[in-house]
Amino acid sequence: MTQPELPSAAHDARLHDALTRYWGYREFRPLQRAAIEANLQGRDSVVVLPTGGGKSLCFQMPALVRLDGGFGLIISPLLSLMKDQVDGLVASGVSAAALNSSLAPDERRQVYADLDERRCRLLYVTPERLVGDGGDAFRARLREWGLRFVAVDEAHCISQWGHEFRPEYRRLARLREDFPDISIHAFTATATRQVREDIANQLALREPEVLIGAFDRPNLNYRVLVRAGVKDQIRRIVDRHPNEAGIIYCVSRKEVESLASWLDGLGHQALPYHAGLPDATRRRNQEAFLDERADVMVATVAFGMGIDRSNIRYVIHAGSPRSVEHYQQESGRAGRDGLEAECVLLYSGSDFVRWRQMLDQSGELSDTSKRLLRDMERYAAGTRCRHRVLVEYFGQTFDRDDCAACDWCLKELERVGDPVTLAQKILSTVVRTGQSWGMGHVIDVLRGRSTDQVTARRHHELTTFGLLSEMPIAELRGYVDQLTQQDFLLRTDGPYPVLQLTDGGVTALKGQSEVALYRQPRPTPGQRRQRSDGDPATWDGVDRGLFEALRQCRTEVAHARGVPPYVVFHDNTLRDLARRRPTTPHELLDCYGIGARKAEDLGPIILDVIRDYRGEPDTADPDDLDPSSEPS
């Protein structure tokens, strides 16, 4: 079903007006406009934008600006995600609702009544609601209510090639049959070509418009450290961000518990989150983090999808995730406000062995999961620009030589003085122990440790025994990883991976190839260099005192309304307010993220805070707050 044609100037104005009026934004982000047009023209689409790229607007706005009065259905995997989006929309004056099991009967009746009377523009549901029990009748109602398009959020969940396959998403394949004449739109942050094509096939999209955004997140500062004294490493990072929000991802629940209580004991407001906690505790902890009552969330991967706290300043992985997709998505939760944030991966080669075992036990060890794991290992042990590696992984090109925002480009990795000799020591130990041992044993020999296994095999009699006795174990592991990554060594698959030399390794052992090895970062990595791209999301010109006063006010409003603070205002909005210090409602509308509805709703409170902060008496004329009096 296609939108009636509008003269293009009027159409432009209509979209722009909605953008400023409801969202308070000045311009579209890359590809948002194209995604909206595809929808309005009734054309299927696959939209791939990184986390924080602004996908929601792409499916929210078309529902609002349609001239035919129809509405849009959004399929989203998580109730919490839906609730936040609906709260945010309603706060901006858009009529939206979610239908899910947590609604009270009278709330449900209200949503149905709104749909019957065509008052609702956006309806959020889970896949189960749509294709589970009772789905047939529900789909028939959707047609009666004038459904115009379906947007599938987190669409990679439909693909078995992806890293987050959800069986209930598979059943969405029937959407096309049920709704042959409306457009279907898939949204995801993570899609290699294979996943992208799988999404389009599974949903039976018809010649979809494929829109793929730039994957680089220049404000994120990536670092990788070999894990050694993990608490100290974490503490150093957390201490760099006093009173700022951060997430620490751990692989196991036990690690989550122990790190959270340790940080708490140090006086940080840290909370645990994992699937083994009672529902109520989990919800409480998540809310405390989103409401800015807690700074640090220590969590397993169970935490995160749809976490829209935009001012997360760091994401630490205390162990490697199982795919680059996971890493990109989890680390991508940092810095959604566009301000500088850091992502630190603390890893050890043993993480990957552990993952293989865990995946094997859960029956998930497949060629796909092994490949994803190997790619992650390559990222971790990599000695190239991290931004480049990530961007290229997602099939895009990176055109800068120096990102100025990763450990490699910031030259935090030190080149080893005589890498050839060091490599020879390691490679020759692998050969002398018969190429049938794992990294732990090879390292024991190099460090001269007479373990039972070492003595039983008489490996303490080898000439390489104890050659690197002074070297810390983590550093040595790092070199083995680098040699593996540079294809001098090969780590076999299976539950007990062993190290073997490749052809390149044989050449290197003879001292006939170039090898570059890097020492892991010095204890205190320097801060990133200043960016020079004039990004508006900076602290330039921001009155910090006023920012804090506004933040306090936001917390109070959020509390009173029972919504997370970012639903009230994003940090970017607070910063812009604390920079421009508006004194009139018209000036308020010039600030980032403030549309007419927000100005009407919260303008008086904000202007009060600014006035109080400046120590001025209240002189505002209440009539001046009428949002219908447009700025000239």
Q: Compute CA distances 296 → 175, 285, 304, 572, whole Å.
A: 40, 10, 13, 21
Instruction: Kindly state whether residue 570 participates in binding ligand ADP, applying the rule CB under 6 A.
Output: yes
Q: Give 53 or 419: the residue with its C-beta nearer to ligand ADP.
A: 53
Q: Which of 54, 70, 246, 419 binds ligand ADP (CB under 6 A)?
A: 54
Question: Which one of 27-35, 122-130, 407-415, 603-611 is the stretch in contact with ligand ADP (CB under 6 A)?
Answer: 27-35
Please check whether residue 68 is in contact with residue 3, taking contact to mean a CB–CB distance below 8 angstroms: yes
Rounded least distance, CB 222 to ligand ADP, Å = 18
> Residue 224 — φ and ψ, nearest 5°?
-125, 130
Non-local (6+) Cβ contacts of 328 within 8 A are 50, 51, 189, 190, 215, 390, 393, 394
Q: Distance between CA atoms of 541 and 422, rounded to whole angstroms?
A: 50
Instruction: Kindly state whether residue 29 participates in binding ligand ADP, applying the rule CB under 6 A.
Output: yes
Query: For ligand ADP, what does the binding mask look like between residues 322 and 351, x meaning CB under 6 A?
Result: --------------x---------------
Instruction: Kindly state whether residue 74 participates in binding ligand ADP, applying the rule CB under 6 A.
Output: no
Q: Distance between CA atoms of 402 and 408, rounded to whole angstroms?
A: 9
Q: Give 56 or 221: the residue with its C-beta nearer to ligand ADP.
A: 56
Instruction: Kindly state whether residue 53 participates in binding ligand ADP, applying the rule CB under 6 A.
Output: yes
Q: Compute CA distances 234 → 262, 339, 342, 354, whole Å.
A: 11, 21, 12, 21
Instruction: Kindly state whether residue 25 participates in binding ligand ADP, applying the rule CB under 6 A.
Output: yes
Q: Which of 3, 56, 348, 486 binds ligand ADP (CB under 6 A)?
A: 56
Which DSSP helix (H) or strand (E) runs through 314? strand 312-317
Q: Which of 308, 351, 412, 444 binds ligand ADP (CB under 6 A)?
A: 308
Instruction: Kindly state whether residue 213 participates in binding ligand ADP, applying the rule CB under 6 A.
Output: no
Instruction: Kindly state whether residue 310 participates in binding ligand ADP, applying the rule CB under 6 A.
Output: yes
The b-or-e profile of 385-410 (16+ CB within 10 A means b, else e) is: bbbbbbbebbeeebeeeebbbbbbbb
The b-or-e profile of 173-187 (16+ CB within 10 A means b, else e) is: eebbebbeebbbbbb
Q: How many residues bind ligand ADP (CB under 6 A)?
A: 16
Q: Distance between CA atoms of 133 and 130, rounded to whole angstroms?
A: 8
Q: Give 58 or 324: the residue with its C-beta nearer to ligand ADP.
A: 58
Q: Distance between CA atoms of 289 and 315, rounded to whole angstroms?
A: 14
Question: Which one of 54-62, 218-226, 246-254, 313-321 is the stretch in contact with ligand ADP (CB under 6 A)?
Answer: 54-62
Instruction: Kindly state whether residue 55 participates in binding ligand ADP, applying the rule CB under 6 A.
Output: yes
Instruction: Kindly state whether residue 519 participates in binding ligand ADP, applying the rule CB under 6 A.
Output: no
Question: Which one of 48-56, 142-150, 528-536, 615-623 is the stretch in contact with ligand ADP (CB under 6 A)?
Answer: 48-56
Q: Which of 40, 43, 52, 316 binds ligand ADP (CB under 6 A)?
A: 52
Question: Which one of 44-52, 103-111, 502-510, 516-524 is the stretch in contact with ligand ADP (CB under 6 A)?
Answer: 44-52
Which DSSP helix (H) or strand (E) runs through 604? helix 596-614
Instruction: Kindly state whether residue 28 participates in binding ligand ADP, applying the rule CB under 6 A.
Output: yes
List the one residue out of 435, 433, 434, 490 whose CA is nearest residue 444: 433
Q: What is the largest CA-CA distance in the chain?
A: 91
Question: Which one of 47-55, 76-84, 219-227, 514-522 is the stretch in contact with ligand ADP (CB under 6 A)?
Answer: 47-55
Q: Give 75 or 439: the residue with its C-beta nearer to ligand ADP.
A: 75
- Residues recorded for the chain: 632
Q: Could you list the beta-strand ranges (E) of 116-249.
A: 122-125, 147-152, 183-188, 209-212, 220-226, 245-249
Rounded least distance, CB 408 to ligand ADP, Å = 26
Question: Which one of 9-17, 49-57, 253-261, 437-445 is the stretch in contact with ligand ADP (CB under 6 A)?
Answer: 49-57
Residues making contact with ligand ADP (CB under 6 A) = 25, 28-29, 32, 49, 51-57, 308, 310, 336, 570
